[in-house]
Amino acid sequence: MLKLSKKTEYAFMAARYLALNNSGHYSTAKEIAENYDISHQLVAKVLQVLKKNNIAASFQGVKGGYVLNKKPDEITLYDIIIAVEEKYKLTNCMHDEPTEESCSHIEGCRIRDPLAGIQKKIDNVFINTSLKQIL
């Protein structure tokens, strides 16, 4: 309930690592995994997603790895969350255009609008926190 997924935590960690190690060489998934003591493969996937969303840039091959694509103060935690979590929303009905599919109670529901307001405020918490602030 209102918990951050490990995926997001790993993305924060990885981005943080890249921000702190921007000197010349590319940082690898393995390197990051060992530094934070987390699964190599999970970090690898998260990095791939960060790359896809232009938060990081990647280089393949033996001396390959990742670097950040922007300055740490230009990347918000919101950017990272949105990149990594397809389902970041307080309720199901906030994803697609609301239908019976997304929530069977949508008909009689009277808390949708207030919750949308809450959602915005929570979004803002993450929008207003840059990667730089968690270094």
Residue with Cβ nearer ligand SF4 (13 or 50): 13
The closest of 38, 86, 76, 32 to 58, measured between CA atoms, is 32
The two three-digit tokens of residue 72, written as one number: 């740490």
- CB 46, CB 55: distance < 8 Å: no
Residue with Cβ nearer DNA (11 or 130): 11
**SS3 label, residue 23:** coil
Q: Which does 62 bind (CB under 5 to 8 A by kind): its own copies, DNA, ligand SF4, none?
A: DNA
Judged by the rule CB under 6 A, the positions of this chain that interact with ligand SF4 are 9, 91-93, 103, 105-106, 109, 111-112, 115
Q: For residues 111 and 64, what is the distance between their CA atoms, to the nearest angstrom?
A: 49
Q: Which does 71 bind (CB under 5 to 8 A by kind): DNA, its own copies, ligand SF4, none?
A: none
Q: Which does 48 bind (CB under 5 to 8 A by kind): DNA, ligand SF4, its own copies, none?
A: DNA
Judged by the rule CB under 7 A, the positions of this chain that interact with DNA are 1, 3, 5-7, 28-30, 39, 41-42, 44-45, 47-48, 51-52, 58-66, 87, 92
Cβ-proximal residues to 100 (8 Å cutoff; 6+ apart), any chain:
106, 107
Report the chain's C-alpha Rg in angstroms.
Answer: 17
**SS3 label, residue 25:** coil
Q: Which does 78 bind (CB under 5 to 8 A by kind): its own copies, DNA, ligand SF4, none?
A: none
